[in-house]
Amino acid sequence: MRAALSERSGRRRRSDVPEATVARLPVYLRALHVLADGGSSTVSSEALAAAAGVGSAKLRKDLSYLGSYGTRGVGYDVAELVLHVSAALGLGRRWPVVLVGVGNLGHALAGYGGFDERGFCVVGLFDVDPARVGERVGEQVVRHLDELDDVVHSARASIGVITTPASAAQDVCDRLVAAGITSVLNFAPALLQVPAGVDVRKVDLSNELQILSFHEHRKAARALTGVPA
Amino acid sequence: MRAALSERSGRRRRSDVPEATVARLPVYLRALHVLADGGSSTVSSEALAAAAGVGSAKLRKDLSYLGSYGTRGVGYDVAELVLHVSAALGLGRRWPVVLVGVGNLGHALAGYGGFDERGFCVVGLFDVDPARVGERVGEQVVRHLDELDDVVHSARASIGVITTPASAAQDVCDRLVAAGITSVLNFAPALLQVPAGVDVRKVDLSNELQILSFHEHRKAARALTGVPA
DNA sequence: ACGCGCTTGTGAACGCATGCACGAAGTCGA
DNA sequence: TCGACTTCGTGCATGCGTTCACAAGCGCGT
């Protein structure tokens, strides 16, 4: 059960970083890499914040959740901060990732170089379509979904990516969880039901477009009725 | 203090829907479509909330920003609510979309059926690589980026999707904005600078994985230090 | 006709996140 | 050594978003 929530104190523990902050850490990390490649050895919160597209106060507060790694009067050491942020994100190791659903999007993700660069390596591609099983994609060969357990166990994978149609997503998710996956990145437009202890993040391309559509619609309406300051 | 809010201090205007609510409207809409396909003619906030994965109070408040379209004691009429949510999202029309960067991901998105289903139609694919220009993808032929202005104008497109490498993203974005695009969906891992009045939404696959990595890392640490599984 | 039960819509309380302002702590030059 | 300057870390206030709880409203059975 949930022994983890035994301590219900209102105070925030040191290792307890707010979710909004966690979501920005990858952005900071990328900005830091750019700065490092550009030759900077130190950077002020102001400069880093600008590079990351946030306010400097927010950035300092975010980083303060990880510890006090800045030097007053100087700024942050870029290389050192990269290490600390990476450590906080758990990027000190390579994360094996399995991907289920080798359709259009699955192909694209399997071939996306950005994953390997950032410490994620695809250790298995799966599908149920016999026409796709055996196909070679990048450095992997598409396996049948039945082999999922073997691969997850032997590679000790804990992260799974779902790029199936919505109708198959929940079933695939169940099989991933059964195999031992505890973090799921879901591209299928479906709400996934998972047991406690399993994290799910959803990326829905249509949703994003519809949100843009909302604002676009509003802009058009605003333009018709005269533009108030 | 703020002249802009002079109209009605306490009351929120009808067209002023909180951003967090806007982000959930597409989720509700999808859940409604599922319910409609399932034969439901009415649905309670409790049931719809469960289908969308949110709390019922939140759902009611969200919908109340659009108006009072429910019937007390009964619930919401599914078909009617679909219309109202669609209208709020500006889905009463088809939105022409241009896509720049026909690489791995661009191919996948161009072939993704989910867009057309939801009222977005790709009216132009663009790239700068001469090897890709002329290639046929789906029902479109890849054009050179120089033709962007013509297509955007003739199709009256206002939404652009960027699936280029990060290094090209800002330049492409500038050209989109110059052509008249006012909403951008950016898949490149880069921070885009845009003038006021242009909306940008960013989707970064690596970021999502890194956020999962954070939680996975924390789960592992937690398992070691205190909490017996 | 009328009350009873169900569900919506919303005011109010609460909690989280953001922005501000300033003390603390370090560097650099004289 | 000392003082002036720079920049971090953070308490505090503010605003947004979520949750709670309940009155208002509607249909239905009697």
In Å, how far from its chain's centre is CA A216?
27
Give the integer Cα–Cα distance in Å for B139 and A10: 57
- Return the pLDDT at A227: 64
Report angle CA B141, A113, B114 to the nearest 5 degrees.
45
pLDDT in single tens digits along all 229 residues of chain B:
333 333 334 445 656 999 999 999 999 999 999 999 999 999 999 999 999 999 999 999 999 999 999 999 999 999 999 999 999 999 999 999 999 999 999 999 999 888 888 999 999 999 999 999 999 998 999 999 999 999 999 999 999 999 999 999 999 999 999 999 999 999 999 999 999 999 999 999 999 999 999 999 999 987 887 665 4
| Residue B100: other Cβ atoms inside 10 A | 27
Element (H, E) at A23: helix A19-37
CATH number at residue B54: 1.10.10.10
Nearest nt to the CA of A22 via C1' is C17
In a domain, residue B161? The reply is yes
Nearest to A108 among B15, B104, B182 (CB): B104
In a domain, residue A54? The reply is yes
- Return the pLDDT at B221: 86
In a domain, residue B219? The reply is no
In a domain, residue B220? The reply is no
Say if the Cβ atoms of A104 and B111 lie within 8 Å.
yes
Distances from the Cα of B188 to the Cα of A193, B169, B191, angstroms: 30, 6, 8
A52 lies in the same domain as A116: no
B21 lies in the same domain as B104: no
A63 lies in the same domain as A113: no
In a domain, residue A214? The reply is no
B136 lies in the same domain as B194: yes
B23 touches strand C (CB under 7 A): no
In a domain, residue A72? The reply is yes
pLDDT < 50 regions, chain A? 1-10, 229
Give the integer Cα–Cα distance in Å for B71 and A193: 29
Distances from the Cα of A111 to the Cα of B107, B141, B207, angstroms: 12, 23, 17
Say how far B58 CA is from D21 C1', in Å.
14
Q: Residues for chain A: how many in total?
A: 229
The residue from B50, B69, B89 where one domain ends is B89
CATH number at residue B161: 3.40.50.720
Establish, for the pair of chains A and B, how many residue pairs have beta carbons separated by less than 8 Å. 182
The residue from A60, A89, A118 where one domain ends is A89
Give the integer Cα–Cα distance in Å for B209 and A201: 9
155-194 of A, contacting B, C-beta below 8 A? 158-159, 182-185, 189, 191
Q: Residues for chain B: how many in total?
A: 229
CB within 8 A of A42, min separation 6: which ones?
A71, A74, A75, A76, A77, A78
B85 lies in the same domain as B112: no
How buried is A77 (Cβ within 10 angstroms: 0-12 exposed, 13-18 middle, 19+ buried)? middle
Say if the Cβ atoms of B209 and A95 lie within 8 Å.
yes
Distances from the Cα of B11 to the Cα of B7, B19, B79, B179, angstroms: 9, 16, 29, 38
In a domain, residue B193? The reply is yes
- Return the pLDDT at B228: 55
Its domain, for residue B83, covers 9-89
When scoring A54, A89, A200, A202 by the number of chain B Cβ atoms within 10 A, the one with the most, hence best to mutate, is: A89
In a domain, residue B72? The reply is yes
A101 lies in the same domain as A189: yes
| Short-list B225, B165, B10, CA closest to A3 | B225
B48 lies in the same domain as B115: no
Residues 143-202 of chain A in contact with strand D via CB under 7 angstroms: none
121-150 of A, contacting B, C-beta below 8 A? none
- Helix, strand and coil in chain A, % to nearest 5: 45, 15, 35
B21 lies in the same domain as B43: yes
The residue from A89, A121, A138 where one domain ends is A89
How many domains does chain B divide into? 2
A142 lies in the same domain as A159: yes
Q: How close does chain B come to A2, measured CA to CA in Å?
A: 10
B73 lies in the same domain as B42: yes
| Short-list B181, B187, B188, B183, CA closest to B200 | B183
A119 lies in the same domain as A72: no
Q: What are phi and psi of B136, to 5 degrees?
A: -100, 125
pLDDT in tens, B103-158: 999 999 999 888 888 999 999 999 999 999 999 998 999 999 999 999 999 999 99
Give the integer Cα–Cα distance in Å for A99 and A28: 27
A83 lies in the same domain as A106: no
Point out the residue nearest to D21 (C-alpha to C1'): B57
Give the integer Cα–Cα distance in Å for B98 and A209: 12
- Return the pLDDT at B14: 56
